[in-house]
Amino acid sequence: MTRKQPPKYAQIVAYFIQLIDENKLSEGQPLPTETDICLEFNVSHMTYSKAMNELANKGYITRVPGNGTFVSHAYRHRYSKPIITRDSISNVIRSFNQEPHTRLLSYQVLKASDNPEVAKALHLKSDEFMHYFVRERFANKDIFCLSYTYVSQQILPAIDVAALTGSFNAYLKKIGIRRSDGYEEISACLPTKEMSEIFGTSKMALLKQRIIWNVGDEPFELTEHHYPSGKFILTSQLHAKQ
């Protein structure tokens, strides 16, 4: 009986996984062009795209719009311990023996009326203001998460924007602001167009961690961390009732 060959897209996936696992393609090295791969494997552009999406979801490659497709090795940094924690993102990254880096993408001051939902969560009146900043968080060279943060200007009138390229948690401690308590919500979401461009693919779900921190009895900060689902495995310890 003739053994059935796997589909062409799966053959392409297996081929590049083998090259990367055997270090015949190194981190940051570009893959052959779409045209070359289609010719070599005699496949359509649709089949090529399906294979590349599979490799990206597994963490083997990064697709950069306008620049090409590159070996990632992100699959070697899949995190299997809990990432939902009260610790700072920087310390979480260090706990995986990785070095944290932060890139500030944008900062602005918004009127509460610009985002009524967040304003309500932070107990802000429509004519009051809040800081808003977006940051990429990295573990070594790999993107760890995207963070969207809103901070009440009633509690923190001004922010040293330069400090946002480091740990915001450390900055707050330095200026004497102590978060007291808070709560979090965990959900899944699809990436926005902006997120897709940053992560290099739109073909994956994101793990969204929404945190609201209080200072004293007042809501102070709302942050949403978006993690690439292909890199993380959430774990928890269960105890059965005896």
- Got the DSSP string for 113-180? GGSHHHHHHTT--TT-EEEEEEEEEEETTEEEEEEEEEEETTT-----GGGGGS-HHHHHHHTT----
∠76-77-79 over CA atoms, to 5°?
130
| CATH 1.10.10.10 residue ranges for the chain | 8-76
Q: Which two tokens stand for residue 61?
A: 């490659």
- Cα–Cα distance for residue pair 220/45, rounded to 1 Å: 49
Task: Please check the confidence at residue 39 and state whether its pLDDT lies above 70.
Answer: yes
* pLDDT score for 157: 96
pLDDT in tens, 124-156: 999 999 999 999 999 888 888 999 999 999 999
Element (DSSP H or E) covering residue 93: helix 89-95
Average pLDDT of every residue of the chain: 84
Mean pLDDT of 41-57: 89
Query: 9 versus 86: which is more confidently predicted?
Result: 9
- The three-class DSSP label of residue 78 is coil
In the chain, ranges of CATH 3.40.1410.10 domains: 78-231
Whole-angstrom distance, CA of residue 124 vs CA of residue 195: 28
Q: Which CATH class is domain 78-231?
A: alpha beta
* 8-76 under CATH 3.40.50.1110, yes or no: no
C-alpha distances in Å from residue 102, one per residue of 47, 143, 172: 36, 9, 16
CA neighbor of 107 nearest in space, from 59, 161, 54, 34: 161
Q: What is the pTM assigned to this prediction?
A: 0.63
pLDDT tens digits for range 67-125: 788 888 666 655 444 444 456 788 778 877 888 999 999 999 999 999 999 999 999 99
Across 3-7, 32-36, 82-86, 93-97, least confident range: 82-86
